[in-house]
Amino acid sequence: MNKATYSLAESIKLLPVNIRNSVIRRGGGSEDQERASVVFGNLFLHLHPVRVHLNTLRLGYTLGLGLISFYLLVILIISGILLMFYYIPSIDMAYNSMLDLEFAVSFGVVLRNMHRWAAHAMVAFVFFHMCRVFYTASYKSPREFNWVVGVCLLLLTLFLSFTGYLLPWDQLAFWAITVGTNIVTYVPWIGDELRYLMLGGTEVGQMALLRFYVLHIAVLPMVMAALVGVHFWRIRKDGGLSRPLDN
């Protein structure tokens, strides 16, 4: 071993460079190779291919709607985790948590507002995204299955939004969920049982709040994250975004 090269002093001098190089894999080579390695050397970017078709960049084609849906989801997850530090899923405490957020927690109102408005926006934008996919015929072969995954994502978005709606435990929440879950009772044969399963009782109460809470912060977000992963991976496997035939 060459002591000069591996001296402690030298290591300390090269610390920034070495740390940087250990985190970021440098591709080296030509400019394009370097750019390629930015994408495939990064966990968060490697779902992308190294090159994409020009049509993919056309804002007028996708209108960015799928990506906007995804970004709203990211904002919801981050603001939701922060809200969890203040929210207590009990019928005696939940409403007080809302008041705390509004009056006691620094920027608590903004946090709650962001979570609420992003949730409403997400329902709308996922729907718009579905319309875009329909009107550009992007559900056709070979993308049929990704459309099906998308429909599941739409339903998940609705359920996430619906389960979150109860959590503030105010009149708006209580009666909206009462009305909403009443619809379930019209399912033939098992309607009442289904509603009982959702609410953990015959009325919206502590059990219902807890069930909606667990679904809202654990079960549905995990399913959502997994399905979004499948959705993005399928885009790649289906040959990138749909586009008209090249002339």
Partner 1 sequence: MQASEKEELFPKGSDKTYSLMGIVEGEPLQVERGPDNMVMTYPHLVVRELLLFLVVFIVILGVSMVFNAPLEEPANALHSTNPAKAPWYFVGIQELVSYSAFLGGIVAPGVIVLSLLLLPYLDRNPRGVGVWFSGTRKFGIVMFSLFVIVMIVLILIGEFLRGPNWNIYWPWL
Q: Which of residues 184-213 bind partner 1 (CB under 8 A)?
A: 186-188, 203-205
User: By CB under 8 A, is residue 121 in contact with partner 1?
Assistant: yes
- Is residue 180 within 8 A of residue 208, CB to CB? The reply is no
User: By CB under 6 A, is residue 71 in contact with ligand HEM?
Assistant: no
Residues of span 55-114 touching partner 1 by CB under 8 A: 55-57, 59, 61, 64, 67-68, 71-72, 74-75, 91, 95, 98, 102, 109-110, 112-114
Residues of span 213-232 touching ligand HEM by CB under 6 A: 228, 231
The DSSP code sequence of 69-104 is HHHHHHHHHHHHHHHHTT---STTTHHHHHHHHHHT
User: By CB under 8 A, is residue 24 in contact with partner 1?
Assistant: no
Pattern of binders to ligand HEM over 21-60, x per CB under 6 A?
----------------------------------------
H/E segment holding residue 21: helix 15-23
User: By CB under 6 A, is residue 65 in contact with ligand HEM?
Assistant: yes
Helix (H, G, I), strand (E, B) or coil at 131: helix
- Burial of residue 156 (CB within 10 Å: 0-12, 13-18, 19+) is middle
Q: Which residue has the tokens 């399913």?
A: 223
* CA–CA separation, 106 and 110 (whole Å): 9
Q: Which residues bind ligand HEM (CB under 6 A)?
A: 62, 64-67, 69-70, 73, 126, 129-130, 133, 138-139, 143, 146-147, 150-151, 153-154, 157, 228, 231, 235, 241-242
